[in-house]
Amino acid sequence: MKILSEKTNKYYATVDECLAAEKAFDESVAKEKAAKEKALAEQKAKEEKLATERKARATEVEDAYKAVIDADKHYQELLSAFVKDYGSFHMTFHTGNLNPFNSFTHFFDSFF
């Protein structure tokens, strides 16, 4: 007499062999499932970490942009007060990092 296992879809000579094979089959299925769940959990954790880092860096960029806008507003206020008091303002622009137009070129370079 042969025993057919519905789990392994194989024939066995004895019931004990069949039960042992089914037990081994169940264990291997459980291990595969655990490995898949672990891989999914690791992937989800990685995606969450990247999303958190992206959000933090985006906030940092936004804060820096707000600081530039605030500094420009302060500059415009000081310039307006100076022109109101003295009639005009002259300034020579030099190339390099202190050139205020570098900010504009960097800003437009990021779009084009």
Residue 96 lies in a domain: no
Print burial letters for 51-78: b (CB count within 10 Å at least 16), e (below 16). eeeeeeeeeeeeeeeeeeeeeeeeeeee
Residue 103 lies in a domain: no
Q: How many domains does the chain have?
A: 1
Query: How many C-alpha atoms does 46 have within 13 Å on its Cβ side?
Result: 6
Position 6 scores a pLDDT of 87
Residue 62 lies in a domain: yes
Mean of all residue pLDDT scores within the chain: 86
Low-confidence residues in the chain, pLDDT < 70: 93-112
Domain that holds residue 9: 3-91
